[in-house]
Amino acid sequence: MAGNTIGIDLGTNNIKIYNYAKKQVLNEKNMIAMEGGNTIYATGDAAFDMFERTPDAIKVSSPINYGVIADIDSMQILLKKMLAKSVGHSIKSCNYIMSVPTDITEVEKRAFFDLILMTGAKERKVLFVEKPIADALGVGLDVNHAQGILVIDIGADTTEISVLSLGGIVLSKLLKQGGNQLDESIIAMIKKEYNLNIGKKTAELLKKELCSLDAEPAQSMTIVGRHVMTGLPREQEISADVVERAMEEQFQLIVDAAKMILERTPPELASDIIDEGIYLMGGSSNLAKLVDMLSLATELEANVYNNADESVIRGIERIIAEKEFSKLATEMKEKIYY
């Protein structure tokens, strides 16, 4: 199965496709730009470059909201184009493994199944793996053992907190808080403190440049926004402290949910988690303030990884390549025939 298998991770912000034959990951923005409602203007990274910069006639959007498909027609167009980039035109001869959130319904999961069939892959196998399991595999953990693993995946629109053992999910909680909500909190704080309107891209840049663990963070950053009163562009220096205060309420919701999961975790698994700590994944997992708050509140080590935003697709890579993990991907309970 490995030689002709494609892994897919559809996120709100990014779409990632793993081509086993080429040993390559395609990672592009999960965005599509439509002109006049029915003409494709751009997809992927090119569409993201246009975000917040387009005239009224062009609409840029993500077909995924809160981990589920909100616009299946746009998602079909986008996935076909990304598969063409990654695989070429032989998509009918491939098997597919797709990651899905834990708490979605069978109807929502079926939308993912239908999406693959719409690419022309009707005669091939479509398997699913739950994202927390792929997350853990992606950072090198062996989820098949009888060992408790606490995974927190902070995505664009959702945060999924899960306890894993023996290849399954013991406990899980899905929060509708993620990187996008952090950006909105920053936008609101800048408006409150400085009477300045900024866009989502600027908010995300402040978050990454001032609060990330990936590089030595700056103490402040100068941005340009539009003044609320005058309507004119204005430069403003923003300190890291202001950005951290903006995100603190969202961080606290994640911390509280993690504590609730820990309180419900069986004692034997809890002892494993005490030894190993918390594993943080997702694009917004490397924020210093969040890591500090989690460690302080839970008294556990918070393990943060480089390229944590690719942990799911790297986990799917292991499922494809390593036989001992192949059973972690399963088919739908009820197939659909056309």
CATH number for the domain whose boundaries are 2-133+311-328? 3.30.420.40
Closest CA to 34 of 7, 56, 60: 60
Spell out the per-residue pLDDT of the chain, length 338, in tens: 566 789 999 999 999 999 998 899 999 999 999 998 789 999 999 999 999 999 999 999 999 998 889 999 999 999 999 998 888 766 667 889 999 998 888 888 888 988 888 876 555 688 999 999 999 999 999 999 999 999 999 999 999 999 999 999 999 999 999 999 999 999 999 999 999 999 999 999 999 999 998 767 788 999 999 999 999 999 999 999 999 999 999 999 999 999 999 999 999 999 999 999 999 999 899 999 999 999 999 999 999 988 889 999 999 999 999 999 999 999 875 544 43
Query: Do 262 and 269 meet the contact criterion of CB atoms below 8 Å apart?
Result: no
Shared fold status for 2-133+311-328 and 140-177+250-306: yes
DSSP class of 16: E
End-to-end CA distance of the chain: 24
CATH H-level superfamily of 179-245 = ATPase, substrate binding domain, subdomain 4 (3.90.640.10)
pTM: 0.91
H-helix segments, the chain: 44-50, 72-86, 106-118, 131-138, 179-194, 200-211, 240-264, 267-276, 288-298, 311-321
Mention every residue, 6+ apart, whose C-beta is less than 8 A from residue 168.
133
> Structural domain boundaries of the chain?
2-133+311-328, 140-177+250-306, 179-245
d(CA 233, CA 245): 24
DSSP class per residue in 76-121 = HHHHHHHHHHHT-S-GGG-EEEEEE-TT--HHHHHHHHHHHHHTT-
Mention every residue, 6+ apart, whose C-beta is less than 8 A from residue 103.
160, 172, 173, 174
Query: Do 287 and 260 meet the contact criterion of CB atoms below 8 Å apart?
Result: no
Asked if CATH classification 3.30.420.40 holds for the domain at 140-177+250-306, the reply, yes or no, is yes
d(CA 282, CA 160): 10
SS3 187: helix
List the beta bridge partners of residue 273: none
Q: Phi and psi for 257 in degrees, rounded to 5?
A: -65, -40
Pairing, β 278-281 against β 302-304 = parallel
DSSP class of 181: H
